[in-house]
Amino acid sequence: MISKMLEPLLSQLNEMRVILASSSKQRQSLLASTKLKFEICTSNFEENLDPREHTFSDFVEKTAIGKLNDVYQQLKNDQRKPDIIIGVDTMVTYNGKMYGKPKSKEEAIKTITDLTQSGIPNSVYTGVAIMYKDQIHKFTEVTTVYMAKLDKEEILAYVETGEPMGKAGGYGIQGIASTFVTRIEGDGNNVIGLPLCRLVQELKRLLKNS
């Protein structure tokens, strides 16, 4: 479906140098599913914004822009400069608090415990920044995720699989966590880390208006 939506513009896009500023295998796989030709350039941006000083949307958008700008600096002197750079950042929120990637098993246990005990859903915010013709365009996509209640042994067993590490909110919806996700409201791809539908619409809009 996504590739069909993008198909009329693929020939135009595939003549450009498109960069995804992310090392995430999940994001790479999702973007590749559109049949778009793109390169990977990992950002070295230090994700050190203070969550207390930003709204959820501002936080992920500013981090996405930071990643984008870092990659732009890496590539700006290339003989062929990038035409499009895409920066992305994902954050899970619950009960007014942001949850990033767990830094330890203990943090992962606490995160999954928080997300699965109350019946209250968590929200996944993904900020996307697109640099095109020296201008940055940004947006945030939000998806709501409902989870089943897990007992202590189930939480420990999940953390021991290693899946929570390196994932915002400590879970991978495309993996084992799918067994305790009861409902999703919004774009499921957004939970994986890249809101494909919205991204495609933004690319179409930018190219149409250029």
At 41, which CATH number? 3.90.950.10
Residue 198 has pLDDT above 80, yes or no: yes
Euclidean distance between CA atoms 116 and 120, whole angstroms: 8
Question: What percent of the chain shows pLDDT beyond 90?
Answer: 81
- What are the pLDDT digits (tens) for 140-163? 999 999 999 999 999 999 999 999
Least trusted range by pLDDT, from 21-25, 43-47, 117-121: 43-47
Number of domains composing the chain: 1
Task: Print the domain residue range for 53.
Answer: 2-208
The set of residues, in sequence order, having a beta carbon less than 8 Å from that of 114 and lying 6+ positions away, is 94, 95, 99
* pLDDT at res. 6: 65
Per-residue pLDDT band for 5 (boundaries 50, 70, 90) equals low
Across-strand partners of 184? 145
User: Structure tokens of 20?
Assistant: 């995804």
Of 82, 67, 86, nearest to 128 by C-alpha is 86
Q: For this structure, is 134 an active site residue? A: no
From the list 50, 58, 89, 187, the catalytic residue is: 89
Task: Return the SS3 of 47.
Answer: coil
Of 8, 69, 5, 71, nearest to 38 by C-alpha is 71
Give the pLDDT mean for 120-141. Answer: 96
Euclidean distance between CA atoms 35 and 147, whole angstroms: 32
Euclidean distance between CA atoms 203 and 188, whole angstroms: 20
User: Structure tokens of 9?
Assistant: 């513009």
Q: Strand pairing of 181-185 and 135-147? A: antiparallel
